[in-house]
Structure 1
């Protein structure tokens, strides 16, 4: 059974149709790369999956459970939305770290807030917070940031901040980890360290959706690639086929222009 099924997603902003009948599925442990020009709908698709935007039609199904069905009337309450978002971890282009918190505090904040809502928290607060801190330290160590956990974002390089953001996204153990062009805000010399982390996550069979402009990385790391244009999935398949031997003329145009750029 697919871990994620996206069925016939549509999204409008005013008169602009940003996503048009988008459907795909992916298996657990796979990495999906989404490529395409700016404005093709890639980021909007990720935001719909993370319930940061509400699709106008379609369904989102995770592990056989329908998390979203536009045909059902009404909007989710805040608590319901938060619960649904737990299935997805989101890593943004601009890191989105809280400047007033250390790296460790950024990573553990969401888990602490969730723990406070449980009946066990009042009974064993100290032990629960200690466990959460240990988990955060383990994640930062995995990111190569064990010596930076007490640093604030302004004391970290862009690459280090993005690795903190990845650790934060992993903290709640999401079913699917989403990256929205995770290297676009980085200097070229810092891009490699973030791609190295994502590559290691792929080797550990982390289920991931990666919106990226790094074509060689997408080809080498992803199990499948989607090329989007104008809110539509133009081509979807094996990375080497889509990137090296595209079937669609629009895909060829994009890749040719990208290579020249």
Structure 2
């Protein structure tokens, strides 16, 4: 009986060792310098939204992750050269990139949102999230030139009084000086650069996030080499689970007071 037990324990140990030895390892490329999405802490540890997404996906699909820091310009060439297996680096899904690599579904969306002074009482959007053109009359809106935000205003609110700027710094400066009543920009950048700072305490978001794909694209996804449909399917299942469980929102709210994804993709 004792010898049988020893044999069973030995077989069990072999099975555990074999499972561990055969565990899948996926190499993940990211910049490691793009705070707050992927960066190294003072202790040299990788942190940020992209890193949390990578860890969450790896846990769900049962893969160990090895992180490889890569300059942005060489990210796609390095993926194609098999330097790593995945790109989880806030890389936007674009038609140009899709000609070279494949992507999972989006785990973060590119959006715009209007910012104004708390004392400026306005009702700019209806219940369906559509802009109310009449309510923009009499308001000056600051926008960065040649951006998705200026394109959105040009097509959706052609009668709005728009002031164009060549960068974000004068945009915020003129908002604080009262030269414009509102600005439209990326809500993540607005929170990090302005609203969370002392000078931004008297300002707030005015209305919902604007995220029409026509202007802002599909969003940010996990990059992988073309032809890996099985892996892509596993990544998508994992991302949907992170959305539906609320984990993806938890990752975002470590940094921002709002989530960074649409719920519909995870249904």
TM-score with structure 2 setting the length: 0.28
Structure whose CA Rg is larger:
2
TM-score of the pair, normalised by structure 1: 0.29
